[in-house]
Amino acid sequence: MRVVAPSAPVVLRERAPASLARLRTHLGPALRYSVLIALGFLMLYPLLWMIAGALKPNHEIFSGIGLIPQAPTVEGVAKGWKTSTEYTFSTYFSNTFRIVVPKVILTVISSVLVAFGFARFHLPGRRLLFGLLIATVLLPKSVLLIPQYLMFRELGWLDTFLPLYVPSAFATEGFFVFLVVQFMRSFPPEMEEAAVIDGCNSLQVLWHIVVPVIMPAIISVALFQFMWSMNDFLGPLLYLSSVGNYPISLALKISIDVTEATAWNEVLAMSTLALLPSVLVFFFAQRYFIEGVTLGSVKG
Amino acid sequence: MKPRLSKRQFLAAAVAGLAAPYVSAGAPSTPVTAGVPRTVELRMSWWGGSDIHKVQLAALRRFEARYPGIRVRAEYTGWAGHLERLTTQISGNTAPDLMQINWNWLVLFSRDGLGFYDLRRLPGELDLAQFDADSLAFGTMAGKLNGLPVSMASRLFYYNATTYERAGLPLPTTWEELFSAGPIFRSRLGPEYYPLDLNLQDVTAVGRTWLLQRTGKPLVDEQGRQLNATEGDLQEIAAFYRRLVDEHVVPSVEERASYGNVAPHEMRSWINGRYGGVHQWITAIGKSADTLAPGQRVELGAFPLRSGAVDAGLLYRPGMLFAINASTPHPREAALLLSFLLEDEDAVRAMGLRRGPPVNARALKTLADDGKLTGISWQGREQVRALPNQVRESGFYDHPRVRDAFMDAFELLGYGRLDVTAAGTRMHEDVNQILRRVIR
Residue-range domains of chain A with CATH: 4-72 (no CATH), 77-295 (1.10.3720.10)
Q: Which residues of A touch B48 (CB under 8 A)?
A: 257, 259-260
Q: Provide, as residue numbers in chain A, all residues whose Cβ is less than 8 Å from the Cβ of B76.
A: 85, 243, 254
- Residue A237 and residue A246: Cα distance in Å, rounded? 8
Least confident segment among A31-35, A87-91, A251-255, B230-234: A251-255
Q: Which of A258, A264, A266, A271 to mutate to test the interface with B (most CBs of B within 10 A)?
A: A258
Question: Nearest CA to CA, how far is A192 from chain B (Å)?
Answer: 30
A294 has a pLDDT exceeding 90 = no
Beta-carbon separation of B88 and A146 below 8 A: yes
Residue B23 has a pLDDT of 38
**Between A9 and B343, where is the model more confident?**
B343
Which residue from B minimizes the CA distance to A238? B85
> A199 in helix, strand or coil?
coil
Q: Does B205 have pLDDT greater than 70?
A: yes
Q: Which CATH architecture has domain B7-152+318-378?
A: 3-Layer(aba) Sandwich (3.40)
pLDDT band at B317 (very low <50, low <70, confident <90, very high): very high
Query: Where in chain B are the domains?
Result: 7-152+318-378, 154-315+389-438
What integer is the mean pLDDT of B12-32? 41
pLDDT at A7: 47
Candidates A73, A113, A100, A91; CA nearest to A254 is A91
- Which residues of chain B lie closer than 8 angstroms to A58, CB-CB? 290-291
The mean pLDDT value for B40-49 works out to 94
Q: At residue B38, does pLDDT exceed 80?
A: no
Mean pLDDT over residues B231-258, rounded? 96
Q: Which residues contact B50 (CB under 8 A, 6 or more apart)?
A: A83, A84, A255, A260, A263, A266
In this prediction, residue A299 has a pLDDT band, given cuts at 50, 70 and 90, of very low
Q: How far does CA A24 lie from the centroid of its chain?
A: 40
Residues of A with Cβ-Cβ distance to B93 under 8 angstroms? 153
Which amino acid would we find at residue A74? V
Q: Is B261 touching A (CB cutoff 8 A)?
A: no
- Return the pLDDT at B94: 92
What is the mean predicted confidence (pLDDT) over B395-403?
A: 90
Q: Are B338 and B98 in contact (CB under 8 A)?
A: yes
Contacts of B201 in chain A (CB under 8 A): none
Distances (CA, A) of B239 to B232, B389, B422: 10, 25, 11
Among A105, A241, A242, the residue to mutate for chain B (most B Cβ within 10 A): A241
- pLDDT of B27 higher than 80: no
Confidence (pLDDT) at B31 = 43
Does the pLDDT value for residue B15 go beyond 60? Answer: no
Burial class (CB in 10 A: 0-12, 13-18, 19+), B10: exposed
Minimal Cα–Cα distance from B74 to chain A, Å? Answer: 7
Residues 341-400 of B with CB under 8 A from A: 354-355
Inter-chain CB proximity B287 and A153 less than 8 Å: no
Q: Flag if A85 and B80 touch (Cβ within 8 Å).
A: no
Are A154 and B11 a contacting pair at CB < 8 A?
yes
- Residues B372 and B353: their CA atoms lie apart, in Å, by 8
Amino acid A84: pLDDT: 84
* B293 has a chain A CB within 8 A of its CB: yes
The residue-averaged pLDDT of A94-106 equals 96
| CB spacing of A233 vs B81 below 8 angstroms | yes
pLDDT at A291: 57
* Percentage, residues of chain B above pLDDT 90: 78
From the number of C-beta atoms within 10 Å of its C-beta (0-12, 13-18, 19+), residue A19 rates as: exposed
Q: Note whether B7-152+318-378 and B154-315+389-438 share their fold.
A: yes
Gap between the Cα atoms of A168 and A108, Å rounded: 9
CB contact under 8 A, B74 and A159: no
Q: Inspect the interface and report whether the beta carbons of B73 and A237 lie closer than 8 Å.
A: no
pLDDT of B342 strictly over 90: yes
Q: Which of A284-293, B258-267, B288-297, B402-411 has the highest mean pLDDT?
A: B402-411
Mean pLDDT across chain A: 85
Mean pLDDT, all residues of chain B: 89
Find, in chain B, the residue whose alpha carbon is nearest to that of A83. Answer: B50
pLDDT digits (tens, 9 = 90+) for A217-269: 898 899 889 989 998 999 999 999 999 999 999 999 888 887 777 888 899 99
Question: What distance separates the 2 farthest-apart alpha carbons in chain A?
Answer: 81
Cβ A237–B47 below 8 Å, yes or no?
no
**What is the average pLDDT across B14-33?**
40
Chain A's closest residue to B285, CA to CA, is A259
| Inter-chain touch A162–B271, beta carbons under 8 Å | no
Q: Looking at residues B102-113, what average pLDDT do you find? A: 91
pLDDT band at A290 (very low <50, low <70, confident <90, very high): low
CB < 8 Å to A158, chain B: 29-30, 94
Secondary structure (3-state) at B25: coil
Task: Read off the DSSP letter of residue A238.
Answer: H
CATH of B154-315+389-438 among 3.40.630.30, 1.20.1260.10, 3.40.190.10, 3.40.309.10: 3.40.190.10
Q: In one letter, which amino acid is A266?
A: E
Share of chain B above pLDDT 70, in %: 91
Q: What is the dihedral of CA B101, B106, B112, B116, to 10 degrees?
A: 0
Please determine, for residue B29, whether its predicted confidence score (pLDDT) is greater than 90.
no
Q: What is the pLDDT of residue A187?
A: 78
Give A75's contacts (C-beta < 8 A, 6+ positions apart). A57, A265
- Any A CB within 8 A of B10 CB: no
For residue B5, the model assigns a pLDDT of 43
Residue in B64, B265, B266, B355 to test binding to A, most A beta-carbons within 10 Å: B266
The band of A24, judged by pLDDT with boundaries at 50, 70 and 90, is confident
CA A260 to chain centroid, in Å, comes to 33
